A and B are shown apart, each in its own frame.
Chain A
């Protein structure tokens, strides 16, 4: 008998074609109506798997913030009666600071139109990689794919009951009050084990919130914030 390995190499392609012929030909394969769940899962799979390595790295870094920084709209204001250590009321929002979390709660009906967010300056090499503009919320992501540096802008119109939450893994959140043009802001530097810092600004009326999350240094983040048209 010939060497079995040789026979297998010799006949494997033919065997494959014989096996394939047991399935219907391409024209006769049923055209299924795939469920929305399947299409959604496949979309997620594609988005996740085909990000560039730099984007994967940056997004991994930002996942901490994605978990930590939750913006929940249309939540009732029934929790306002809780017991914060610090409560600072400015216009139509209050900021509550707890051991490892900060809440911005908003009151009143916003009549303001959300102007287009547009940073006047970002570091060289950064390009806009994601842009979503809605009536009540705008999301912009700039990144430098070579260095992995990333800036995420989340700009929201805040109505009654809306709040912004910032959570920390540690007790005692470090923060710094910042004045940016007419906007008041609070800068939350990156914690140990994370590269992402957050700057949260509230407009003078108190019905719009802007968060800037980035792995850039403090001065660069503030410079970017100062260049934004709706702040300056």
Chain B
């Protein structure tokens, strides 16, 4: 790691990343372990999440802000879900047992009497992450698609569906 450090010309970016790494690597591993329960798999997820974070490093102003913490947590959570689904695809094919609690979660009714903010927070990750990336973090659909590794049209649809879920909730 130290071999080339003296060649880095973007010192502020490097320093920013080091702060992110030191501050959040334990939280990221914690998030990944909640679903994967295996440290090596969880570390692979954290590594993948850091790769994504490097891609959007210039959009991060304050590494220690709650907004950045949420961004890091969301990227890790999504990376974990992606990893988990990928790892379990083979098992599902073999056993034909429904496996995806992520998908099941999307159909769960949202608890009544929630505030609007609580309702957003309680949305399934599939909807909550792109909605928060857009409305809290200020990313465009294209940027969200890049962060989450999907297409822009998919993000538009997902955000729209998430908003429909919220609208129904508010009309109740």
Contacts of A31 in B (CB 8 A): 26
- Fill in one digit per residue for A7-32: 1 if any B CB lies within 8 Å of its CB, else 0: 11101111111111011101001111
The reply to whether A130 and B30 contact each other, CB–CB distance below 8 Å, is no
Docked CA distance A109–B8 (Å)? 40
Partner of A8, one of B51, B121, B131: B131
**In the complex where A8-B163, A50-B14 touch, is A30 in contact with B26 (Cβ < 8 A)?**
yes
The reply to whether A47 and B4 contact each other, CB–CB distance below 8 Å, is yes
The reply to whether A12 and B136 contact each other, CB–CB distance below 8 Å, is yes
**In the complex where A12-B131, A51-B8 touch, is A19 in contact with B163 (Cβ < 8 A)?**
no
The reply to whether B4 and A20 contact each other, CB–CB distance below 8 Å, is no
The reply to whether B8 and A50 contact each other, CB–CB distance below 8 Å, is yes
Contacts of A34 in B (CB 8 A): 25, 29, 43
**In the complex where A38-B47, A45-B54, A129-B7 touch, is A9 in contact with B135 (Cβ < 8 A)?**
yes
Nearest-CB residue, chain B, relative to A145: B9
Contacts of B39 in A (CB 8 A): 32, 35
The reply to whether B117 and A15 contact each other, CB–CB distance below 8 Å, is yes
The reply to whether A15 and B66 contact each other, CB–CB distance below 8 Å, is no
B62 in the interface (beta carbon within 8 A):
no
Count class of interface residues, chain B? 35 or more
**In the complex where A13-B136, A130-B3 touch, is A50 in contact with B117 (Cβ < 8 A)?**
no
Contacts of B43 in A (CB 8 A): 34-35, 37-38, 41
B95 in the interface (beta carbon within 8 A):
no
Contacts of A24 in B (CB 8 A): 30
Contacts of A22 in B (CB 8 A): 121
A49 in the interface (beta carbon within 8 A):
yes
| Contact count A vs B, C-beta below 8 Å | 138
B36 in the interface (beta carbon within 8 A):
no
**In the complex where A4-B163, A42-B21, A45-B50 touch, is A11 in contact with B117 (Cβ < 8 A)?**
yes
- Tell which of B14, B21, B29 has the most Cβ of chain A within 10 Å: B29
Partner of A130, one of B4, B27, B170: B4
Nearest-CB residue, chain A, relative to B21: A42
Find residues 18-57 in chain B having any chain A CB closer than 8 Å to their own CB.
18, 21, 25-27, 29-31, 39-40, 43, 46-47, 50-51, 54
Q: Which 5 A-B pairs have the closest CB atoms?
A: A43-B1, A15-B120, A12-B136, A14-B117, A12-B135
Having A35-B40, A50-B13, one finds 18 other A-B pairs with CB under 8 Å, namely A8-B120, A11-B116, A12-B132, A13-B67, A15-B116, A15-B121, A15-B132, A19-B132, A37-B40, A41-B43, A41-B47, A42-B47, A47-B5, A51-B8, A52-B7, A129-B7, A130-B3, A130-B4
24 contacts between A and B (CB under 8 A): A1-B167, A1-B171, A8-B120, A12-B131, A12-B132, A12-B136, A15-B118, A18-B118, A18-B120, A20-B70, A26-B27, A29-B27, A29-B30, A32-B26, A38-B47, A41-B43, A41-B47, A42-B1, A42-B21, A42-B47, A46-B21, A50-B13, A53-B9, A55-B7
Residues of chain B at the chain A interface (Cβ within 8 Å): 1, 3-10, 13-14, 17-18, 21, 25-27, 29-31, 39-40, 43, 46-47, 50-51, 54, 66-67, 69-70, 73, 115-121, 128, 131-132, 134-136, 163, 166-167, 170-171
Residues of chain A at the chain B interface (Cβ within 8 Å): 1, 4-5, 7-9, 11-20, 22-24, 26, 29-32, 34-35, 37-38, 41-47, 49-55, 129-130, 132, 143, 145
